[in-house]
Amino acid sequence: MKKLYLSRHKNGYYYIYYIDLNGKRKSITTKTKVKSEALKAISNFDKLISNNKNIVANDLTLKQFRWKFLKHSESYHSWKTTLDYKSTFNEMEEYFGNILLTEFTQRNIEEFIQMKIRKKSLHTGRRHLINIKAMFSKAVAYGFLQSNPAKNIKRIKPPERLPLFFTREEFDSLLKVIDNQDWKDLVEFAVNTGLRQMEILNLHKRQFNKQDKLIILDNHYHTTKSRKIRNMPLNNRALAIVSSRVSSPSPVNNELIFTLNGQRILQDNLQDKFRKYVVAAELNPKLTFHCLRHTFASWLVQKGVSIYEVSKLLGHADIKTTQIYAHLRSDDLRNAVERLD
């Protein structure tokens, strides 16, 4: 085994570059940013290698692991989740370079996350940490690592923010500027069911149970976020919209309930068009199509529906997720304090 040289990576740490017994160029971190300490590591190089035996057995680089992990993600996760993992890999490769998986430590991962929080936002840092924990957990499961270096890093708790939703007046203003019946049906159905964008765009006519007034999310045409089957009861307005669209013949024999001129609606097109309608109605430009889901939940809570029932309708796996709407039950708190009078 031949030693090459000591070099400082852009993350601040010194690395020893060497040629292994198979003639491959390798590197190993000295785990220090101080050159004098890194030079000591070179003098004690053989011991450093022996303390990292799994490097020899599992000399998988970050780029090699990226390919293996994303192949797994594309099979089991949505395209949006896989895209998010790709973003994290890109940021890690820019910061760490193509280092070995075994060179990751809790310390250098924490420094990476702290840098992202400083330069981007708390939300960005939190998102990358969640992805890294999952990625390294899979590396352990595959036998590429003996332990997850991010396992003991505390998850970042984001500050609680009130969900943005439409008032009744704002929603009426929005409907007035929508000049296409396909779009109007889609928007009204969304606010009356609280379904997610892709759940709506992938709804097939076979999922409509007219007799029981239900939409059955059965994971045949689109996998729900919780991966669980659930039924969505339809109120009179949602029922009327679906009944009309199911009974109307499609010009291209399309089995989807919601289409635009008989063609599938793409998510990006939906978001762009919705944004234009919001601007035309002179409403808060931060109101997105997803806010219709918040609106559905908020209006229910304001009408006195329990958080438990709202959670079931939204398809939340944990009722804690639904607690964000609890602040709208101000009448409960008002009635409580008025008892003192």
Residue-level length of the chain: 341
Closest CA to 203 of 191, 192, 216, 194: 216
Ordered DSSP codes for 275-310? HHHHHHTT--TT--TTHHHHHHHHHHHHTT--HHHH
Tell me, what's the pLDDT at 53? Answer: 44
CATH number of 168-334: 1.10.443.10
Q: Can you tell me the distance from the alpha carbon of 29 to that of 205, in angstroms, rounded to the nearest whole number?
A: 58
Phi, psi (degrees; rounded to nearest 5) at 242: -65, -45
Which pair of tokens denotes residue 292? Answer: 């219709």
Give the architecture-level CATH label for domain 62-142. Answer: Orthogonal Bundle (1.10)
Q: Residue 72: CB partners within 8 Å, gap ≥ 6?
A: 138
Q: In terms of Cα–Cα distance, which of 14, 18, 45, 17 is closest to 30?
A: 14
pTM over 0.75: no
Q: How far apart are CA 238 and CA 170, in angstroms?
A: 19
In this chain, the answer to whether the domains covering 62-142 and 168-334 adopt an identical fold is no
Find where tokens 């969304």 sit: 190
CA neighbor of 62 nearest in space, from 84, 20, 92: 92
Q: In the block, which residue shows the tokens 């799994």? A: 54
For 150, the token pair is 């991010």
Q: At residue 217, what are phi and psi to the nearest 5 degrees? A: -90, 95
Sheet containing strand 230-233, edge to edge, reads 208-209, 214-217, 230-233
Between CA 261 and CA 251 the distance in angstroms is 8
pLDDT tens per residue, the chain (341 residues)?
A: 445 577 888 788 888 777 654 556 677 778 888 888 888 777 776 555 555 444 443 478 999 999 999 999 988 887 888 999 999 999 999 999 999 998 999 999 999 999 999 999 888 999 999 999 999 999 988 888 888 999 999 988 877 677 889 999 999 999 999 999 999 999 999 999 999 998 999 899 888 888 888 988 876 666 666 667 788 999 999 999 999 998 876 655 578 989 888 888 988 899 999 999 999 999 999 999 999 999 999 999 888 888 889 888 888 888 887 888 887 766 655 666 666 76
Do residues 73 and 66 touch, judged by C-beta distance below 8 A? no
The one-character DSSP state at 118 is H
* Domain assignments of the chain as residue spans, ordered by start: 2-51, 62-142, 168-334
**DSSP secondary structure string for all residues of 123-172:** HHHHHHHHHHHHHHHHHHHHTS-SS-TTTTSPPPPPPP-PPP---HHHHH
Per-residue pLDDT at 279 = 96
Strand ranges across the sheet with 25-29: 2-8, 14-19, 25-29
pLDDT of residue 54: 42
